[in-house]
């Protein structure tokens, strides 16, 4: 445990020294406060949906930036050291593969969560002062954490497979582009242009982590479903709000576990 803790601290310290931590923290800090401050949160006049629409902007901001924010450090962590030869030297020391891999996983995760907390806490505080229930802020941040950890696991899996840092980062950006573009707008275009069945679109909604994140959060924010669009509204009508939120949460949890395990298996074999 002591050795694993040292790896975690090493990864956190490395991440905190990079520019991405400050840049993404600043983006969330400024954008989140602006969205919440300028949004219509007058719950006495507009009720629950008054702040639902304001938070919808924050949800879409998270869909765009949180995956990149998690992927960039995660894709670099193993591939960069493999490329420089530092990984071979590290594994020659009296440490286990599990300590190295899971220490890196935990370290990158902690660094990403710190960046999110810095940026999200201020927006959440402003929202609470303007009358938004704290439970809603906690739920929203919980989904943001799941989304971030899912892409950390995906990035770590890519980093374990790639032979060089540039290759890993390129694959990570391609994965981000595919999953974000093929979310809400992408599936609707596919439905209209190619006549894909509704069942396949629903299945893709629960396979794609960014779309699952959007559906889960907006279901919590907007009980009358007007922000979900036709596909999301159809899902909630079938599963109910509670079932939809639970299933989207399970989807994001699966994205944390499965890519991480694949990355671990590849790391053990490929080193």
What pLDDT, in 10s, does the model give residues 1-40?
Answer: 567 777 788 877 777 777 766 777 777 777 767 766 665 5
Is the pLDDT confidence value at 180 over 50?
Answer: yes
Q: Which of 154-168, 172-186, 235-249 has the highest mean pLDDT?
A: 154-168
d(CA 65, CA 57): 12
Two structure tokens written together for 224: 């009358």
Q: What is the spatial distance between Cα 55 and Cα 32, in angstroms, rounded to a whole number?
A: 9
The pLDDT tens digits for 60-102 are 778 888 888 888 888 988 888 888 888 888 777 878 888 888 8
Greater pLDDT, 61 or 263:
263
Looking up tokens 């401050």 gives 37
Can you give the pTM of this predicted structure?
A: 0.84
Residue 188: predicted pLDDT: 61
At 15 the pLDDT is 72
pLDDT for 184: 57
- Output the pLDDT for position 46: 41
Residue 232 pLDDT level (bands cut at 50, 70, 90): low
Nearest to 105, CA basis, from 238, 271, 227, 267: 267
Which tops the pLDDT comparison, 251 or 43? 251
Structure tokens at 144: 């943001």
What would the mean pLDDT of 132-150 be, rounded to a whole number?
Answer: 86
Least confident of 64-68, 90-94, 174-178, 242-246: 90-94
Which pLDDT value is given to residue 112? 87
The number of CA neighbours under 13 Å toward the Cβ of 200 is 8
Cβ atoms of 219 and 241 closer than 8 Å: yes
> Cα angle at 126 between 124 and 128, to 5 degrees?
70
pLDDT at residue number 43:
44
Q: Which of 206, 255, 250 is nearest to 231 (CA)?
A: 206
Alpha-helical runs (H) found in 92-183: 97-129, 134-161, 165-181
- Residues 6 or more apart whose CB falls under 8 angstroms from that of 44 comprise 131
The confidence band for 195, taking pLDDT boundaries of 50, 70 and 90, is low
pLDDT score for 29: 73
CA distance 266 to 91: 15
Look at residue 51 in the predicted model and tell me its pLDDT.
Answer: 59
Residue 240 tokens read as 């109910």
When comparing pLDDT for 41 and 150, which is higher?
150
Q: CA quadruple 220, 225, 231, 235: dihedral positive or negative?
A: positive
Question: What does the block give as tokens for 261?
Answer: 């395990």
Structure tokens of 221? 């924010």
């Amino acid at each position: 445990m002591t050795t694993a803790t040292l790896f975690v601290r090493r990864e956190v310290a490395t991440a905190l020294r990079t520019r991405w931590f400050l840049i993404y923290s600043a983006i969330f800090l400024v954008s989140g406060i602006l969205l919440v401050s300028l949004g219509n949160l007058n719950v006495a006049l507009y009720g629950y949906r008054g702040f639902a629409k304001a938070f919808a902007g924050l949800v879409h901001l998270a869909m765009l930036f949180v995956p990149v924010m998690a992927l960039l450090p995660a894709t670099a962590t193993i591939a960069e050291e493999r490329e420089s030869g530092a990984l071979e030297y590290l594994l020659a020391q009296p440490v286990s593969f599990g300590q190295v891999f899971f220490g890196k996983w935990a370290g990158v995760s902690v660094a990403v969560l710190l960046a999110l907390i810095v940026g999200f806490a201020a927006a959440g505080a402003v929202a609470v002062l303007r009358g938004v229930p704290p439970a809603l802020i906690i739920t929203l941040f919980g989904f943001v954490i799941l989304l971030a950890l899912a892409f950390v696991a995906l990035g770590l899996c890519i980093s374990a497979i790639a032979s060089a840092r540039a290759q890993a980062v390129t694959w990570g950006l391609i994965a981000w582009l595919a999953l974000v573009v093929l979310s809400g707008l992408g599936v609707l275009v596919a439905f209209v242009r190619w006549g894909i069945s509704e069942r396949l679109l629903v299945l893709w909604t629960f396979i794609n982590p960014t779309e699952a994140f959007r559906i889960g959060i907006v279901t919590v924010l907007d009980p009358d479903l007007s922000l979900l669009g036709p596909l999301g509204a159809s899902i909630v009508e079938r599963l109910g709000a509670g079932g939809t939120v639970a299933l989207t949460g399970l989807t994001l949890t699966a994205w944390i576990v499965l890519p991480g395990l694949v990355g671990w298996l590849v790391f053990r074999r490929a080193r």
